[in-house]
Homo-oligomer: A and B are copies of this chain.
Amino acid sequence: MMPRWKPDAAGRLTKAAITLFEQQGYEATTVAEIAEAAGLTKRTFFRYFADKREVLFMGSEELQDLWVSSIRAAPDRAGAMEAIESALDAVAQLFAERHPFARVRARIIAANPELQERELIKLAKLADAAAGALRDRGVADRAATLAGQTGVAVFHDAFARWVQQEDPDVMRALMDGSLAELRAVVMEGRGRAARPKASALRRA
């Protein structure tokens, strides 16, 4: 039966938005324009997205779920950073399938401060969620907070490098490199543990 409405309104809005943002820029594109391009109205746009920025962040909830559940699923004996690393694993896999889309999206966000703000608060939520999951595993309060922050910093740094190159499959290696480098810089002048293995640096 011809349904009354064309399906996947949210998806149509997202596609239209990305296309228009690429063509004209984020600021120069109005919500009414996006809605019209998707065969809908401004009012309907705001039924699907809390605001104009959110249209670029569909799926971030799933990302956070994956992130948190990976931490919860880590072996009981794993320490905080080991649990974080398993979350980095899962996220790297997820992103590998979406390299082209991620690059376009990253370009749009990089061009607009409003969107960067939204991106940053999503990352902060990832860090908080990770910290919460770690606390549930028995990690001490402050250690959990800082491990969450560290995990997100590594993710963010690796992500930034990942979108700048062609190969979708190196994300995990980039993460490893970032984490090794982080350990090195944080421990500089504090004994042998400071120096990352050359092999880890080479993988990135």
Residues on A facing B (Cβ under 8 Å): 79-82, 113, 116-118, 120-121, 124, 142-143, 145-147, 149-150, 153-154, 156-157, 177-178, 181-194
Contact = CB atoms under 8 A, between A and B. Distances in A.
14 contacts: A117-B118, A142-B178, A143-B185, A146-B181, A146-B182, A146-B185, A147-B186, A153-B153, A182-B186, A186-B186, A190-B193, A191-B192, A192-B193, A193-B193
B182 A81 contact: no
Nearest to A160: B145
A140 B165 CA distance: 20
A146 B157 contact: yes
Q: Which among A79, A116, A156, A188 has the highest number of chain B CB atoms within 10 Å? A: A188
Nearest to A147: B185
A159 to B, nearest CB: 12
A141 to B, nearest CB: 10
A178 B143 CA distance: 8
Contact of A80 (B116, B142, B188): B188
A189 B153 contact: no
Given A80-B188, A192-B193, A181 B142 contact: yes
B143 A181 contact: yes
A111 to B, nearest CB: 15
Contact of A182 (B150, B156, B178, B193): B150
Nearest to A116: B121
B147 A150 contact: no
A129 to B, nearest CB: 15
Contact of A185 (B150, B156, B184): B150
Contacts of A188: 79-81
